[in-house]
A and B are shown apart, each in its own frame.
Chain A
Amino acid sequence: MCLAIPGKVLEMYEENGLKMGRIDYAGTVNTACLAYVPDIKLGQYAVVHAGFAISIVDEKEAQKTYEVWEELVQAAAAEGTDIFGMPLDQQENDQDKGKLS
């Protein structure tokens, strides 16, 4: 029930006195109430739960996480391995590596 997914704000308008928006979830477009994210701008990503945007995705924080991951990958590469500790030249043959389930 607490499922919420990120989508990009395509358009903003008012309906019944509420700030509303059209949100693009990777191609599927739906409406959402934007009253709880009053500062949101067109093109920003919001996390939407049951028709209400509840948070603006913080790009700086997301970027920080990516950078940490990039460091992990680079640290492994510097040792001549992928991030599983496997030699880099064996990677291409192992289609299932790292598969989570």
Chain B
Amino acid sequence: MKYLDEYRNPEIARRILDEIHQAATKPWVIMEICGGQTHSILKNGIDQLLPEQIELVHGPGCPVCVTPLEQIDKALAIASRDDVIFASFGDMLRVPGSKKDLLMVKSEGGDVRIVYSTLDAVDLARKNPDKNVVFFAVGFETTAPNNAMAVWQAHKEGLKNFSILVSHVLVPPAMTSLLSSPDNRVQGYLAAGHVCTIMGWEEYIPIAEKYKAPIVVTGFEPIDILEGILMTVKQLESGSAIVENQYSRIVHRQGNRPAQELIAKVFRVSNRKWRGIGEIPESGLVLAPEFKAHDAEILFEMSDLKVEEPAECISGPVLIGQKKPYECEAFGTTCTPQTPLGATMVSTEGACSAYYLYNRPAPKGGITAENEKNEK
């Protein structure tokens, strides 16, 4: 496929790998933000081909993974109602809430529909005026314009039976939060290419400057990721810390202005809780006051829920790159993609599911739950 196949050429990949091997003289820790990049790295074996001194840690860029358990439980409660058609992207259906998931609600008779686009959910509202159509609006900046457009359209057409359950998060506040943590190990970032397609990359400049961390906007194909790593390593080796754009065929410095304008009209920035991480100031979106009539949390009077994560799940430290999936006692035993304990195993973008799917057991002598137990 044009603009894809070229970025999967193994000969070019090998050449860039050689350059990375030549450039890397010291140990460096680089985080890829996006779960899509994590999967591409593991699927293509990039982690196994890099020089030993380059460690890739996997970031929190999996919207499904960071959606708080409370929001999943709210979705389940709304989807169980007789007067509701609950629409969602397919990847939210198997995310476990406290007691069940959306697929179970569907099997119990709940009207849960998988849609390809948020506009399909708006269409459901047009065609089912006697039902409340609720879309589960989960995602980063990439998905925000789509959900903004759905609300904008519904508002314009007076579709009072369309609402969204918002769980939108923003990437730069999470990157800042990780870099300012006392436990931080990350020295450079591969920024998420499609988030930057919408937002541009100017907002990363002060982050790179303040924390002396190079940030390279990177795409998703193997060649993109290798180039992004090479650019980051070159900066780290030379002591540079600026924002560079590897994904220039898609990402422009200013981002997508029409998309940003509609996001600004429909949403407001707010504090947001991230599953496994906790609340990060100004890291999420909520509907702006004039669109509150389309806010499912208000319509269905969802009060604040307090729920507990499964104690054995370490998805929190996995999401911020402090632990690898194989360090979890449940990994591959009680927790698999078929029986997930946490969202990092459910989502196709989660680090745990990637380690499971592409068979990344603990390295010899590396940290595992079992080794840690033996040491104690």
Contacts and interface: CB of A to CB of B under 8 A. Distances in A.
Given A1-B89, A1-B138, A36 B256 contact: yes
A52 B248 contact: no
Contact of A2 (B1, B140, B251): B140
Contacts of A13: none
Interface in A37-87: 37-38, 45, 47, 49-52, 54-55, 57-59, 61-62, 64-66, 69, 72-73, 76, 82-85
B236 interface: no
B96 to A, nearest CB: 17
B138 A36 contact: no
Interface residues of B, number: 61
A6 B119 contact: no
A54 B145 contact: yes
A27 B118 CA distance: 24
Given A2-B34, A33-B119, A35-B258, A62 B153 contact: no
B13 A98 contact: yes
The listed residue with most A CB atoms (<10 A of its CB), out of B10, B35, B45, B48, is B10
B362 interface: no
Contact of A65 (B10, B62, B249, B256): B249
A10 B256 CA distance: 22
A88 interface: no
A12 interface: no
A51 B140 contact: no
Contact of B1 (A25, A52, A99): A25
B14 A84 contact: yes
A29 interface: no
B100 interface: no
A66 B259 CA distance: 29
A100 B143 contact: no
A101 B43 contact: yes
The listed residue with most A CB atoms (<10 A of its CB), out of B34, B143, B156, is B143
B117 A72 contact: no
Contact of B153 (A16, A26, A85): A16
Nearest to A45: B3
A33 B120 CA distance: 11
Nearest to B347: A1
Contacts of B146: 33, 49-52
A39 B49 CA distance: 41
B36 A83 contact: no
B10 to A, nearest CB: 4
Interface in B84-116: 89, 91, 116
Given A1-B64, A50-B146, A100 B45 contact: yes
Given A33-B117, A100-B45, A6 B2 contact: yes
B68 interface: no
A76 B89 CA distance: 46
8 closest A-B pairs by beta carbon, nearest first, are A51-B117, A101-B45, A98-B10, A26-B1, A62-B249, A2-B142, A6-B3, A61-B248
Given A49-B194, A51-B119, A85-B18, 7 more contacts: A18-B153, A35-B149, A54-B145, A73-B15, A76-B15, A83-B12, A100-B44
Interface of B: 1-4, 6, 9-15, 18, 34-36, 43-46, 48-49, 61-64, 89, 91, 116-120, 138-140, 142-143, 145-146, 149, 153, 156-157, 192, 194-195, 197-198, 220, 222, 248-252, 256, 258-259, 347, 349
